[in-house]
Amino acid sequence: MLLKPQIKDLKIVTYYLGKIVIGLGLTLALPLAVALVNQEINPAMDFGIGLLTSLIIGLILIILCKTTEDLNWMQGMSLVGLSWLVAMFLGAIPLFLSGHWKCYLDACFDAMSGFATTGLILVQDLDHLSLSHNLWRHLMMFIGGQGIVIVALSFFVRGLSGAFKMYAGEAREERVLPNVVNTARFIWLVSIVYLILGSTTLACVAQAEGMPRGTSFFHGLCIFMAAFDTGGFAPQSQNILYYHSLPFEIVTITLMLLGAINFKLHYSLWTGNKKEIFKNIEIITLFISIMVLFSLTAIGLNKVGIYPKPAVLFRKGFYQLISAHTGTGYMTIYAKQFIRQWPAFAFMGVIFAMGLGGSTCSTTGGIKLLRLDVFLKALSGEIKRIMLPESTVLTQKFHHIQEIVLEDKQIRVSLLIFLMYLGLYILGTIIGCLCGYPLPEALFESVSAGANVGLSCGITNPSMPVLLKITYIFQMWVGRLEFISIFTLFGVLIAAVKGK
């Protein structure tokens, strides 16, 4: 029997939602300041409207629903799912007002793509977008990569003992530190340190390639935020191809790989446990997976002779594979080249890389490699049980930061999420086909959206059907939060209607 949510539940969720909305609103002050400094009057008004709207809504929610009660699991999960939807609608306001998006739905699409660190875009005339709007696009990725709840727990929601319920609802399975708030702040510390180092390196490379100092700094900052947070937005419509620079591509590969690593592994490395990177099962699997999938991709590309030189194969083939596997979506080729030039073998290699994704508790999306490891361990264990005497007690372990004994619960959860991702990919593929697109292209774009990657074979554009836009928004939202908080939110809505 479904229990109908009480008014108290609604008040608690709405109160903390108000705090998160105010926090998101305050982040709009940064692009507003950039607009004012650069004398971008109309963009400044866009961000002023977005900022005031967020603050007004947030204050109204807090005042009307003020409470001192803590969140339970149902409330915390529902809050997370709802927060990301509200963030999309509010983050889209300055984008839509800029005039570079055909309609508000398109602006919402790009806002969700930004917060979910996907990278699919519907913006028009990107090359002439204002500095402040371009900064906001990448700042959304920086916020979304760390997590909207991580931002709230770090700066705006304090003294909340139910913080872990929100943290877990944002697809974070592991705490880096025993305290969730300290974990959130460590994640921000890592991100800020890398932000300084990464954006400076990118700026220096861009300047060495002939870009003016101010422009190189801006591009370095934007590219870092999207690369480390495995997002894929870029200030120019040609994406990474715009820079035509091997050193720039090598730096972005490094940042993408750093973004695909578990934050708990970052903590181990920062605290001097350098050997962990050679023992960690996810990193080992990531290395093996990259080698295997790139070999398949390279074989396919070599068969058609599209990239005959090793350097070109690295820049066009390996780069796309790493971008796919880390869930970033940066491209050094044009979208249509996937369909017109890449053979099916190489094409499928990229799809598999997108679907798998990177590490758990990182900024990347997809199924995640630890779940693949658990599944393979469980499979090998079943084979061993068949081969060994019935009286044998088999205990399986794997190394992930520490030695972990494989349990049935881990296997069930990993397999369940694995299957749900496959279902999400299939859903988008079916709708893509119903909208008139060929199966390979529909599959590619669906996996890209559902795994929060951002690579495109050309389907994603402002003229695509509204149904497909809504489908991809849904896939980005669900894929980023990994189902549980979304299902909880839907369950609460159903219970509110049918519950007793």
pLDDT over threshold 60, residue 1: no
Q: What pLDDT is stored for residue 376 in this prediction?
A: 85
Q: Which residue has the higher pLDDT, 303 or 173?
A: 303
Q: How confident is the model at residue 56 (pLDDT cuts 50, 70, 90)?
A: very high
Q: What pLDDT is stored for residue 277 in this prediction?
A: 86
Express each pLDDT in 229-286 by its tens digit. Answer: 898 999 999 999 999 999 999 999 999 999 998 888 888 888 888 888 888 888 999 9
Is residue 446 a part of any domain in this protein?
Answer: no
Count up the domains in the chain and report the number.
Answer: 1
3-state secondary structure of 403: strand
Express each pLDDT in 411-456 by its tens digit. Answer: 888 889 999 999 999 999 999 999 999 999 999 999 999 999 999 9
* Burial of 133: CB neighbours in 10 Å, binned 0-12, 13-18, 19+: buried
Across 134-162, average pLDDT:
75
Mark residue 366 as left, alpha or beta (left: phi above 0; alpha: psi -120 to 50; beta: remaining).
Answer: left
Report d(CA 176, CA 263) in Å as an integer.
7
Give the CA count within 13 Å in the CB-facing half-sphere of 140: 31
pLDDT over threshold 80, residue 180: no
Express each pLDDT in 476-495 by its tens digit. Answer: 999 998 888 888 888 888 87
What percentage of the chain carries pLDDT values higher than 90?
58
Is residue 458 a part of any domain in this protein?
Answer: no
pLDDT over threshold 90, residue 472: yes
Beta bridge partners of 402: 400
Is residue 91 a part of any domain in this protein?
Answer: yes
Q: What pLDDT is stored for residue 174 in this prediction?
A: 60
pLDDT over threshold 70, residue 74: yes
Q: What pLDDT is stored for residue 164 in this prediction?
A: 59
Report d(CA 31, CA 335) in Å as an integer.
29
Q: How confident is the model at residue 184 (pLDDT cuts 50, 70, 90)?
A: confident
Q: What pLDDT is stored for residue 440 in this prediction?
A: 94
Q: How confident is the model at residue 8 (pLDDT cuts 50, 70, 90)?
A: confident
Is residue 217 a part of any domain in this protein?
Answer: no
Q: What pLDDT is stored for residue 203 in this prediction?
A: 96
- 378, 406 Cβ separation under 8 angstroms: yes
Is residue 44 a part of any domain in this protein?
Answer: yes
DSSP string, 335-351: TTHHHHTS-HHHHHHHH
Express each pLDDT in 299-338 by its tens digit. Answer: 999 988 889 899 999 999 999 999 999 999 999 999 999 9
Is residue 132 a part of any domain in this protein?
Answer: yes
* Among 222, 230, 229, residue whose Cα is nearest residue 137: 222
Task: Give Cβ neighbours of residue 130 (< 8 Å, ≥ 6 apart).
Answer: 35, 38, 40, 42, 43, 98
Q: Which residue has the higher pLDDT, 21 or 497?
A: 21
Q: What pLDDT is stored for residue 187 in this prediction?
A: 79
Is residue 278 a part of any domain in this protein?
Answer: no
Helix 104-115 to helix 466-481 angle (10° resolution) is: 20
Q: What pLDDT is stored for residue 47 in this prediction?
A: 97
Type of residue found at 105: L
Is residue 58 a part of any domain in this protein?
Answer: yes
Q: What pLDDT is stored for residue 402 in this prediction?
A: 80
Express each pLDDT in 13-23 by its tens digit. Answer: 899 899 889 98
Report d(CA 446, CA 482) in Å as an integer.
16
- 104, 464 Cβ separation under 8 angstroms: no
pLDDT over threshold 80, residue 120: yes
* Burial of 323: CB neighbours in 10 Å, binned 0-12, 13-18, 19+: buried
pLDDT over threshold 90, residue 115: yes
Q: What's the domain range around 163?
A: 1-172+485-500
